[in-house]
Structure 1
Amino acid sequence: MRNPLKHFVHLPLLAALLAPAAWAAELKLELAGGSRSWSTAQLLSHPQAQKIEIPADVAYKRDMTYRAVPLATLLDGVQPGDHLQAVALDGFAAELPAAPLLSTQGARAWLAVEDPAQPWPALATGKPSAGPFYLVWQNPEAAQIGPEQWPFQVSHIRLLSPVAQRFPALLPAADASAEVQAGFAVFQKNCLACHRLNGAGDSHFGPDLNIPHSPTEYFAGDFLRQYIRDPQSLRKWPQGRMPGFSEEVLSDTELGELIKYLTQMAARKNN
């Protein structure tokens, strides 16, 4: 899971983000009809852009107000059964089923756009903001939207094949139990945005979770479960970027399914 408060950005990139020229940011969309870029100015003046309130914002951990565009209005030609990926400046790559992104009821996705006249606060001291573009949600609980589906510092949104088709090295055995199959779904939603497994995945943010070793191979007893819940309780490391997954984000059942998936994949290494 990505931690905005411990999010590392290379100094040249940080300087670029903080410089005036950064306000000429562009969001690139790669959809079925081709590529399209939207500038900050174009999005701020979009006819459907409006002020929205986001309670308990995931990146800022408090209530926030944004000028934002309904994401569905930018996704020309995308169908509910499609699969999208939002890529951030740091290599974070959120896998997103299209259906909730297109919904206009219940959970609703918005692209928040940072206004150069009213820049957003830094995520932490010495860090940039969540801009220039940030995917935020109203009523996220209506579609069980997790923290990994709130990518910030977004640079690209692209239409892709589903994860299982793009990365067969992630697939559990054909005869895997229902729990392992469910664990694969949990992995896609909560882990794949930061981590690869068997070298498969698009993220460049965190380490591979199977090569050279799965965490199920070096965490004894219940320590892996404890680590996922609260990494700093096992490894006190100020530079650590992974926060814990609370029970509200990842239930005990889902956590158990994830561990079963990782355990099986430890025997299915793709070296």
Structure 2
Amino acid sequence: MDGDHLKTLILLGALLFGSPLYAAQLNLELGANSRTWQTEELLKHPQLQTITITNDVSYKRDMSYRAVPLAALLTGIKPDDHLQAVALDGFAAELAAAPLLNAKGARAWLAIEDPARPWPALSEGKHSAGPFYLVWTDPQAGNISPEQWPFEVASIKRMAPVAERFPALLPDPALKANDPVNKGFALFQKNCLACHRLNGAGDAQFGPDLNIPFNPTEYFGADFLKRYIRDPQSLRQWPQAKMPGFSSQVLPDGDLEMLVGYLKHMAGRKQMSANK
């Protein structure tokens, strides 16, 4: 069931039974500290406050939210842990835990949609970003990418690192740890893996595979590929396009070069992952 249908059923239930709409829930799968939060509970959280987000990634304008610092909900999570935020529509954001636990600089918040004061639709005919939305204050301080702002969040899970779960994504093991290709792999996980698979590996259900049957470095000239990553609509325009652009503030030129370097490297390492 997609997010629109789920929200419609919840709303119909509230209308039929004449009760406040508190049916949304967030599942935190954190091992021994797992728990489920209901909307009503989160709106009564002792650390709840109103925050203002400047130029919100999803709404493209300033927004105010009732929100809880995400770190307050991640009981037992350590900076070197790895998390995955899964949305109602299947979007799966891979998130290093360390930035989520920050109390200064770029800070992660769980914004909670109050059913009595619903958020606006993301665009005409679409749903809102609720019931839960991971937002950031001062995102520039941490080079936070658009893929680190998942909306319609249904669960946050502690997971094994991407390299362990999906070995088909790994560069040549003979490369040194500080090789630019390995740095590009880290950037791929942060910026691309929420929407794309590669060699059939990954949890995303959105965009095309970036290696099978062809790698974008095989059909884009290098300059055009970089331009496409910066501003997809400048090369391909269609109404349902979902890929965001990655500005130089989010993905500096040196990082973009390493990301493209990883993709080019993987064009020579094609294989079909077992999880395809």
TM-score, normalization: structure 2? 0.89
Aligned CA distance change for structure 1 residues 17 and 213 (closer, same or farther; 3 Å): farther
Give the aligned residue type for 2:64.
T
Could you tell me whether the CA contact under 8 Å between 2:30 and 2:157 is conserved in 1? Answer: yes
- Which residue number in structure 2 is paired with residue 183 of structure 1? 184
- Which residue number in structure 2 is paired with residue 3 of structure 1? none
1:152-171 equivalent positions in 2, closer than 5 A: 152-171=151-170
SS in 1 for 2:136: strand
User: 1:102 Cα deviation (Å)?
Assistant: 1.4
Could you tell me whether the CA contact under 8 Å between 1:183 and 1:257 is conserved in 2? Answer: yes
- Which residue number in structure 2 is paired with residue 108 of structure 1? 107
Whether 1:247 and 2:248 are equivalent positions in the alignment is yes
Hey, what's the Cα distance between the residues in 2 that align with 1:140 and 1:249?
A: 9
Task: Give the RMSD, CA atoms, in angstroms.
Answer: 1.9
Hey, what's the Cα distance between the residues in 2 that align with 1:48 and 1:263?
A: 46
Hey, what's the Cα distance between the residues in 2 that align with 1:29 and 1:221?
A: 41
Hey, what's the Cα distance between the residues in 2 that align with 1:19 and 1:127?
A: 17
Give the aligned residue type for 2:55.
A
Could you tell me whether the CA contact under 8 Å between 1:211 and 1:269 is conserved in 2? Answer: yes
Hey, what's the Cα distance between the residues in 2 that align with 1:131 and 1:11?
A: 11
Hey, what's the Cα distance between the residues in 2 that align with 1:231 and 1:20?
A: 40
User: 1:125 Cα deviation (Å)?
Assistant: 0.3
Give the aligned residue type for 1:268.
R
Query: Higher mean Cα deviation, 179-188 or 214-223?
Result: 214-223
User: 1:217 Cα deviation (Å)?
Assistant: 1.3
Hey, what's the Cα distance between the residues in 1 that align with 2:3 and 2:95?
A: 27
User: 1:141 Cα deviation (Å)?
Assistant: 2.1
User: 1:176 Cα deviation (Å)?
Assistant: 3.5
Give the aligned residue type for 1:202.
D
Could you tell me whether the CA contact under 8 Å between 2:3 and 2:152 is conserved in 1? Answer: no
1:84-123 equivalent positions in 2, closer than 5 A: 84-123=83-122
Hey, what's the Cα distance between the residues in 1 that align with 2:222 and 2:133?
A: 38
Give the aligned residue type for 2:96.
P
Give the aligned residue type for 1:262.
L
Give the aligned residue type for 2:114.
D
Tell me the alpha carbon deviations over residues 209-257 of structure 1, each in whole angstroms, 9 at most, x when there is no partner: 1111111111235221222122222222222211322222222211111
Hey, what's the Cα distance between the residues in 1 that align with 2:4 and 2:76?
A: 38
Give the aligned residue type for 1:15.
T
User: 1:66 Cα deviation (Å)?
Assistant: 0.7
User: 1:15 Cα deviation (Å)?
Assistant: 3.2
Whether 1:201 and 2:194 are equivalent positions in the alignment is no
User: 1:99 Cα deviation (Å)?
Assistant: 1.4
SS in 1 for 2:239: coil
Hey, what's the Cα distance between the residues in 2 that align with 1:70 and 1:221?
A: 40
Aligned CA distance change for structure 1 residues 113 and 19 (closer, same or farther; 3 Å): farther
2:5 to 3, 8, 12: 12
Could you tell me whether the CA contact under 8 Å between 2:143 and 2:251 is conserved in 1? Answer: no
Could you tell me whether the CA contact under 8 Å between 1:71 and 1:111 is conserved in 2? Answer: yes
Higher relative contact order (CA 8 A, sep 6+): 1
User: 1:85 Cα deviation (Å)?
Assistant: 0.9
Percent of aligned pairs sharing the same letter:
65
Aligned CA distance change for structure 1 residues 12 and 173 (closer, same or farther; 3 Å): same
User: 1:261 Cα deviation (Å)?
Assistant: 0.6
Hey, what's the Cα distance between the residues in 2 that align with 1:123 and 1:74?
A: 26
Count of residue pairs the alignment pairs up: 263
- Which residue number in structure 1 is paired with residue 259 of structure 2? 258
1:124-139 equivalent positions in 2, closer than 5 A: 124-139=123-138
- Which residue number in structure 1 is paired with residue 24 of structure 2? 25
SS in 1 for 2:182: helix
Give the aligned residue type for 1:227.
Y
Give the aligned residue type for 1:47.
P
For structure 2, which runs of at least 5 residues remain unmatched after alignment?
15-20
Hey, what's the Cα distance between the residues in 1 that align with 2:197 and 2:158?
A: 19
- Which residue number in structure 1 is paired with residue 211 of structure 2? 210
- Which residue number in structure 1 is paired with residue 270 of structure 2? 269
Query: Higher mean Cα deviation, 257-266 or 47-56?
Result: 47-56
Aligned CA distance change for structure 1 residues 82 and 236 (closer, same or farther; 3 Å): same
